[in-house]
Amino acid sequence: MSRKSIGVAVICKNEEVLISRCLSSVADADQIVVCDTGSTDRTMEIITEQFPKVELHKDFIWCDDFAAAQNHCKEKMKTDFILSLDCDEYVVDFNEVRKAIEIGQDMIRVKMKAEGGNRLEFGFGRLFRNSPDIFWVQPIHKHLNIPGEGEQIGNVEIVFGWSPAHANDPDRALRILEKVVRQEGDAAGRNLYYLGREYWYKGRCEEATKTLGRYVQVSGWPAEKAESFLIMSQAYSRLGLDEDAKDAALQCLKINPNFKEAIEWMAGIVPPEHAMQWKRMARTANNNDVMWDRVPAKPVHDVIFLSPHNDDETLFGAYTLMRHKPLVIIVTDSYIQPKRGDKNCCAIARRDETVKAMSLIDCPVVFLGIEDAKLTEEVLRERLQYFNPETIYIPAYHENGNEQHNLVNKVALEIFGRNKCEQYCSYVKGDFNIVQGGWEVKPTHTEMELKNKMLECYKSQLNLPSTRPHFEAVKGKSEWLI
């Protein structure tokens, strides 16, 4: 059976800075069609000189309608599937596009990722079957006429940025949206969200709150509704309406209590005596069900997870590691176990197990190299004095708990101070279950499955009757902070 063909459709205007990067990323496509809507820079020359395979068309007259332009371009496509690409975007691996269309039906979900280190990501239907029944709608913020984000198959990634050409017509989006909302009236729906957001971008706060206020009355999408309330809160705050700002933020969190950015925003607008609790909530928020994850990742040295032994980080803090990607510091190496006759538990083997587990969740790890039998407060102070984290997770003190856990807790609190320390719960002697604290870190099903895979990395401990029960006890359970 012959493979399916794939074409790339691009509309452009004055994109001399980015057009080469865009087209180079899809050079292996069976067909590339570019419809220019009136370039006056070197865009056309670059395409002609560098990409002779591209079919270049100049017959579309711009009419403030992106869907019309895309459909015009689509009419020139002859391939089985079409990938729609903007000039400020590029495909990470075009082979993934070919793999996806072999099993795709109508519209395939593409992962959109912001360039420049920002963790903004979302799914979008950009890859679709070439059919008269599938076409673009909406003059701006265009999308295909098929509901949803597309079939979740393959691993197609598009990186997007910002085109300098946008500066040539900075009010274009606002102009189109105002026109569309006027025409649609009470049926404007999501275009109210886009218009309200555009008003916010332009600093027109009163118009932003009024427009988004209309939208949240009719919205049927919780993620976008929560996003709208957050923007409203920020706009109210800029207008000096502090109580309205807090009310809107609370409405946002009522919809999605895992919205990390909204919680962090709330921490900044409440009285100082309440801010710490909101910040603590933000640390455990996992951003489930937000429109996109756009909270910049902290440098690893700003957040640290302090683990007394080679396994405590996974036993008691795996979900925190998954969500915050801290620098994991292992305090001690294992020498006690080999001396008492436990086989295959040497320091090197246990380090390897930790590295393997941390690699599953992309957490960096360092080892202080202190022999477990020689851990003292003085030695630990000397090793930790060079770190200056914004937040550090440390084992909580438990009466009748592990002596070395309690020692690490005492020294860390002395060095870093209580305000920087988050204390995670472990166990007390004679009980393999984690002690419950005042703050539950509740996992998703996916996080539970990933933790189980991490636990399986610690073969030396799973093979010992004395330590295996610790691993069995934490499977599928929440973790706790105090």
Q: Is 386 exposed, middle or buried (0-12, 13-18, 19+ CB in 10 A)?
A: exposed
Q: Which amino acid is at 431?
A: D
The band of 122, judged by pLDDT with boundaries at 50, 70 and 90, is: confident
**Res. 71: pLDDT tops 70:** yes
SS3 content of the chain, % helix, strand, coil (to 5): 45, 20, 40
Residues 367, 426: Cα–Cα separation, whole Å: 20
List the chain domain ranges: 6-166, 170-284, 300-481
Both tokens assigned to 324: 């915050």
Where is mean pLDDT largest: 138-152, 153-167, 244-258?
244-258
Per-residue buried b or exposed e for 129-165, using 16+ beta carbons within 10 Å of the residue's own CB: bbeeebebebbbbbbbebeebbbebbebbbbbbebeb
The band of 126, judged by pLDDT with boundaries at 50, 70 and 90, is: very high
Per-residue buried b or exposed e for 16-49, using 16+ beta carbons within 10 Å of the residue's own CB: bbbbbebbebbeebbbbbbbbbebeeebbebbee
Question: Nearest-CA neighbor of 112 among 104, 103, 121?
Answer: 121
pLDDT tens, residue by residue, 313-323: 999 999 999 98
∠ CA 203-177-179, nearest 5°, is 120
Q: What is the pTM of this model?
A: 0.64
Residues 228, 216: Cα–Cα separation, whole Å: 7
Asked, colleague to colleague, whether 170-284 and 300-481 share their fold, the answer is no
The band of 163, judged by pLDDT with boundaries at 50, 70 and 90, is: confident
The band of 299, judged by pLDDT with boundaries at 50, 70 and 90, is: very low
Task: Identify each DSSP E strand in 324-426 by its residue range.
Answer: 327-333, 365-371, 391-395, 421-424
Q: Are 453 and 446 in contact (CB under 8 A)?
A: no
Residues 199, 207: Cα–Cα separation, whole Å: 6
Q: Are 408 and 331 in contact (CB under 8 A)?
A: yes
pLDDT tens, residue by residue, 229-258: 999 999 999 999 999 999 999 999 999 999
Which CATH architecture describes the domain 6-166? Alpha-Beta Complex (3.90)
Cα→Cα distances 78→6, 31, 70, 117, Å = 9, 8, 15, 37
The chain-wide mean pLDDT, for the chain, equals 91
Both tokens assigned to 434: 């984690």
The residue whose two tokens read 């239907």 is 125
Cα→Cα distances 85→33, 75, 90, 246, 479, Å = 10, 15, 8, 39, 43
Relative orientation angle of helices 260-269 and 242-255, to the nearest 10 degrees: 160
The band of 283, judged by pLDDT with boundaries at 50, 70 and 90, is: confident
Question: Nearest-CA neighbor of 173 among 142, 146, 145?
Answer: 142
Which CATH architecture describes the domain 170-284? Alpha Horseshoe (1.25)
Q: Region 80-90: what's the mean pLDDT? A: 95
300-481, what's its fold? Rossmann fold (3.40.50)
**Res. 300: pLDDT tops 50:** no
Strand, coil or helix: 368: strand
- Residues of the chain with pLDDT > 90, as a percent, come to 69
